[in-house]
């Protein structure tokens, strides 16, 4: 098992508002890997501070959770991240909303994966063939809200001016009260050894048509470089995936964390 992350500022951005934090840990006496990706909301003040503070706080919370029930630990990590952003004293900017960020977090143990998310940063599972890749998360977004309700077709929703709007985030943009965090969505599932978990911001996943297309990019990135050091493999793979999205024309900040289960 190994974990690594990489982020790059978008071509049309002056400042990288994404953040990624990864770390090895211990869960109930067994090794685990923790990863968090956050994407600061561009309309919010100092989104780069919101994403960095939330990612670090969430990882610290998960590493301290020990053998706690994963769902409980992930909910607490989101609450801690929300409080961290709300109490950070981030300076207001005239004409901008309060700071906010998306968040996707994963805890991987031998044969088991637990994921939490708020907003539209995603987690994908790329298992060994012949198993098929899968999108593990369901965006908290205006598009999904109107499509799930039957109000609009996905094609019409994505053509709307509101297509980039998210419906949930971490920080004062969601709720300025540090004790009222957003409710994360959770997913828990068994995973096949050798599977890859990819956590990413929308600057990455927007460049691919779906899980199959993303898995093809993962397979190409894996074949392009291998290292004797497993940690270098995960970090190098994350970097190559970011480069791939940028080569495809990504304008937004691009961030990826990879967990090799």
pLDDT tens digit string along 187-218? 999 999 999 999 999 999 999 999 999 999 99
In a domain, 150, yes or no: no
Instruction: State the sign of the Cα–Cα–Cα–Cα dihedral 7, 137, 62, 227.
Output: negative
Mean pLDDT of 51-61: 98
What is the distance between the alpha carbons of residues 150 and 179, in angstroms, rounded to a whole number? 33
| Strand-pair partners of 260 | 2, 196
In a domain, 180, yes or no: yes
What is the distance between the alpha carbons of residues 58 and 66, in angstroms, rounded to a whole number? 14
User: How many domains, the chain?
Assistant: 1
In a domain, 61, yes or no: yes
In a domain, 140, yes or no: no
**pLDDT for res 14:** 83
Asked if 98 contacts 172 with a C-beta cutoff of 8 angstroms, the reply is yes
In a domain, 149, yes or no: no
Residue 36: CATH number of its domain: 3.60.40.10
Question: Residue 92: pLDDT above 80?
Answer: yes
In a domain, 227, yes or no: yes
**pLDDT for res 225:** 67
Question: Residue 232: pLDDT above 70?
Answer: no
Q: Is 110 helix (H, G, I), strand (E, B) or coil?
A: coil
In a domain, 137, yes or no: no
In a domain, 12, yes or no: yes
Domain carrying residue 200: 2-132+169-260
pTM of the model: 0.95
Provide φ and ψ at 57, rounded to 5°.
Answer: -65, -40
């Amino acid at each position: 098992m190994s974990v690594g992350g990489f982020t790059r500022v978008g071509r049309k951005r002056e400042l990288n508002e994404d953040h990624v934090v990864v770390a090895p840990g211990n869960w109930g006496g067994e090794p685990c890997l923790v990863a968090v990706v956050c994407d600061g909301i561009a309309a919010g003040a100092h989104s780069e501070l919101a994403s960095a503070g939330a990612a670090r706080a969430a990882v610290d919370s998960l590493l301290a959770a020990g053998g706690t029930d994963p769902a409980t630990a992930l909910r607490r990590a989101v609450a801690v991240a929300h409080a961290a952003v709300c109490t950070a004293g981030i300076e207001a900017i005239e004409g901008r909303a309060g700071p906010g960020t998306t968040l996707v977090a994963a805890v991987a143990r031998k044969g088991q994966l637990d994921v939490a998310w708020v907003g539209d940063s995603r987690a994908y599972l790329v298992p060994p063939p012949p198993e098929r890749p899968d999108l593990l998360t369901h965006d908290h977004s205006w598009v999904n809200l109107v499509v799930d309700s039957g109000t609009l077709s996905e094609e019409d929703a994505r053509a709307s001016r509101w297509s980039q709007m998210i419906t949930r985030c971490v920080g004062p943009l969601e709720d300025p009260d540090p004790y009222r965090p957003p409710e994360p969505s959770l997913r828990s599932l068994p995973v096949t050894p050798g599977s890859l978990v990819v956590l990413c911001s929308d600057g990455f996943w927007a460049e691919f048509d779906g899980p199959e297309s993303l898995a093809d990019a993962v397979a190409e990135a894996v074949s392009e470089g291998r290292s004797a050091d497993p940690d270098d493999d995960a970090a190098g793979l994350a970097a190559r995936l970011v480069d791939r999205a940028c080569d495809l024309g990504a304008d937004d900040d691009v961030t990826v964390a990879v967990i090799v289960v």
